Chains A and B, each alone.
Chain A
Amino acid sequence: MRIALFITCVNDTLFPETGRHVVRLLERLGHEVVFPEGQTCCGQMHYNTGYRRPAATLAVRFVRTFEDADAVVVPSGSCAAMIRDNYPRLGGSGSRLSRKVAGLAPRVYDLTELLVDVLGVTDVGAYYPHKVAYHPTCHGLRMLGLGDRPYQLLRAVRGLELVELAGATECCGFGGTFAVKNGDVSSAMGADKARHAVESGAEVLCAVDNSCLMHIGGTLSRQRSGLRVAHIAEILASTEKEGALR
């Protein structure tokens, strides 16, 4: 299958390795990945902070860039949710944007949805000999409804021991500009999430969203916890032959 990658601005700029893992994983599974060049950002930051007009402009750009794709993979739960759940609110009913979004949004998938629902695979042939805890990010959990998909994928990874994360469904406190506007509350939420992650006994905390991981990982790093964070794509891309790709 030919899959268009929407890398997202945060991944592109700060976590390019996530994109590389997605490409290696999908190519290993026999699919073609394309990277439409005009892409930039989904507009989530603008939208969530109350800047609707720039968010709408970015939505138009996204639709123009990806409208011909058979499937779009987004290695970020919150950006996928922005496109699927919030773009329809941006255009206004009956608008050109709304009509185009209605056509495109059903073909936009988070990585775990693409693998399980579209490509029909839960065992991606990965090998990752570590204790791993999974943090179900809020957008992945409540807006996309990823449900069991990430767990199915992780459970099929050889060598991986999935450990339970207490308070898993609670927000880590990132929330985009919330982390800055309400720094104290955001830090307190992050500290609790980090504590639960450490107490889980995991070596690696993984999620479908690097933004949340940046926040939790930044907290873990400041605490010198020794626990590292990884996007789920890194784990799924790792093989016995190539080792954990970094």
Chain B
Amino acid sequence: MSATFLGIPPFPEAAHEAVNDSRLRHNLRKATHTIRDKRASVVTELEDDWERLRSEGAAIKNHTLRHLDHYLEQLEASVERAGGHVHWAADAAEANAIVTRLVQATGETDVVKVKSMATQEIELNNALAEAGITAYETDLAELIVQLGDDLPSHILVPAIHLGRSQIREIFLDQMAEWGVPAPAGLTDDPRALAEAARVHLRERFLRTRTAISGANFAVADSGTLVVLESEGNGRMCLTLPETLISVVGIEKIVPTWADLEVFMQTLPRSSTGERMNPYTSTWTGVTPGDGPQEFHLVLLDNGRTDVLADTVGRQALRCIRCSACLNTCPVYERTGGHAYGSVYPGPIGAILTPQLRGMSSEVDEALPYASSLCGACYEVCPVAIDIPEVLVHLREEVAAGPGHLGEKAMMKGAEAVFGSSRALDAAQRAAGAARNLVPRHLPGMAGAWTDTRDLPDVPAESFRQWWNKHEKGQS
């Protein structure tokens, strides 16, 4: 059983804890800046090509999304032609039920997993646990999070919030309960930690006969699925077991094999700052005598067709989960992923999560505001998702809803003041007259400002008052 995001407070409150956790701040800053710098250097290498790849990637995704029904059916036919089975899941419950049933049919109670955002989104591990099936995460960071009964805090580096001494403690305390124990005398040397994980996982790979994966891409015309990873655990999961079940969001499709050319260049550079990722695995149905002999593809909707219906918000479905926006986001850098209360944290999470889940909770309503709209996320996005545009679009939806009465009153007041230059002038004169009465600490929401910042002095005279005198030659 793994932890869930249920019960995490809305972003501003959750961020309060995170911002004041100096160890977390240190870990996050170091990690995000390292990846950020690496990304920048390998992107710069491509010079003008980068912008071409970026718009090409966006165009391929837009085209696929516009004709998603067609490509989904094509994918289904291709996968089945290659000997695989395709299942359709409208929501998380349906997807979990399908996967549980498929695992039960194998007679196994243990499965290995290669990190998959889709299965995290539907909380598959919990559903499997309820059916008496243990899912073992094999991605190093995901393993750390699972052993620590923790939650992932980054799309690509789920344990980004932990330092190596914390990881050592988790290994020593927990590995024995899950399989091969950590060696006695384990140090926090990264090599020693990696070796402990390797030994622990190797035994698991050789013993487990069913695997669950996600996919970075699903190629419609050939029925091929693609996973990019760095550690080789993915390749183990995809080749050693007898049965492979892949849970894939319906937006992961690309029309043809040739389309991969664009993303094979943009994804590794954007995510790990590498020209090419160490392992790229592709599989097409089943091949007798080679790899899994039974293959199931579970196509997951879970809110995606609703997102598709929103003409502004749908661009979020272009996301290829590279996490460049997380690594560059100044807000993410200071809060980490847990504060977002969702498996998709950072800027992309702030637009994707409220669209997938709907904005009926305080947690989801707060997400579109978890950004200063600085635009750094849009700048680095390899498929050019205008995240600030979608954030503002979603804020409109929040502002149109009930609640936020104080803010609505304030906005209405501002509208009245800005409704005429005369009203603005009157308000400025009133402020100027009362300038010595402004308290150092403001009450209510505005107190968030005066806690750490001094207010500017209100001038005796506004610009327009000065201008009127200037025009009359009095200045």
Partner among B25, B455, B458, B459 whose Cβ is within 8 Å of the Cβ of A218: B455
- Smallest Cβ distance from A131 to chain B, in angstroms? 23
Please report whether the interface of chain B is mostly helix, strand, loop or mixed according to DSSP. Answer: helix
| B456–A46 touching, CB < 8 Å | no
B421: min CB distance to chain A, Å? 5
Bound-state Cα–Cα, A182 to B16, Å: 9
Q: In residues 364-398 of chain B, which contact A (Cβ within 8 Å)?
A: 368-376, 378-379, 389, 392, 394-398
Which of B115-123, B236-244, B317-325, B464-472 lies at the binding interface? B464-472
Contact of A15 among B389, B456, B470 (CB under 8 A): B456
> Are A50 and B453 in touch, CB under 8 angstroms?
no
The answer to whether A138 and B418 touch across the interface, beta carbons within 8 angstroms, is no
Residues of A within 8 A of B427 (CB): 13
- State whether B466 touches A178 (Cβ < 8 A): no
Main secondary structure, interface of A, reads: helix
Q: Which A residues from 170 to 202 make CB contacts under 8 A with B?
A: 170-171, 173-191
B452, CB-defined interface residue at 8 Å: yes
Contact B467 A214 (CB under 8 A): no
- Counting chain B residues whose Cβ lies within 8 A of the other chain, the interface size class is 35 or more
Query: A138 and B375: CB pair below 8 A?
Result: yes
Closest to B445 in A: A180
Q: How far is the CB of A35 from the nearest CB of chain B, in Å?
A: 5
Cβ-defined contact, B449 with A12, below 8 A: no
Given known contacts A40-B418, A143-B375, A175-B374, is B459 in contact with A50 (CB within 8 Å)?
A: no
Nearest CB on A from B410, distance (A): 9
Q: A91 at interface (Cβ–Cβ under 8 A)?
A: no
Contact with B along A123-156 (1 / 0, CB 8 A): 0000000000000001100110000000000000
Whether, in the assembled complex, A57 has its beta carbon less than 8 Å from a beta carbon of chain B, the answer is: yes
User: Pick the contact of A13 from B378, B428, B455 — CB < 8 Å?
Assistant: B428
Are B449 and A180 in touch, CB under 8 angstroms?
yes
* A180-B372 in contact (CB<8A): no
Docked-complex contact A138 and B376, CB < 8 angstroms: yes
Please determine whether B452 and A222 come into contact, CB atoms closer than 8 angstroms: yes
In the complex, whether B461 has a CB less than 8 A from a CB of chain A is: yes
A13 touching B462 in the complex, CB below 8 Å, given contacts A175-B371, A183-B12: yes
Asked if A68 is an interface residue, CB under 8 A from chain B, the answer is no
Task: Give the Cβ gap from B414 to chain A, nearest Cβ, in Å.
Answer: 7
Q: How far is the CA of A186 from the CA of B447 in the complex (A)?
A: 13
B411 at the interface (CB under 8 A from A): yes
Pairs A–B under 8 Å by Cβ, sample size 6: A14-B458, A43-B418, A51-B396, A182-B369, A219-B452, A221-B454
Add 9 more A-B contacts to A138-B373, A178-B369, A185-B331 (CB < 8 A): A35-B467, A40-B420, A40-B424, A49-B395, A181-B445, A184-B15, A188-B19, A189-B331, A219-B453
